[in-house]
Amino acid sequence: MSRTIHHARILGPVPYLSDSGKRGNIPLGPCLVEQIDGHLIDVIWGSTGQKSTELPLEELAAAAEHGHLVLLD
């Protein structure tokens, strides 16, 4: 399966569940988004890409609709 990675920017709150089970927001700033399958998107951030989370496509689409996530390419 071919995967496409897009450059994006977080401009507002995009909630996620951390590995430790705590809820938080992806930090504001640059990130990469990669569709894993039909309904899951991997969001990668950090100066060396050291942080990531998987979000349902619907949640990421809602963040984009509210202007909290902008695809740059």
For 1-10, how does the pLDDT look when each residue is reduced to its tens digit (9 = 90+)?
567 899 999 9
d(CA 2, CA 52): 20
* End-to-end Cα, the chain, rounded Å: 21
Which residues constitute the domain of residue 60? 5-71
- In this prediction, residue 4 carries a pLDDT of 84
Structural domain total, the chain:
1
pTM of the model: 0.90
Binning the chain into helix, strand and coil, the percentages to the nearest 5 are 10, 45, 40
Look-up of token digits 């695809």: 71
- 3-state secondary structure at position 66: coil
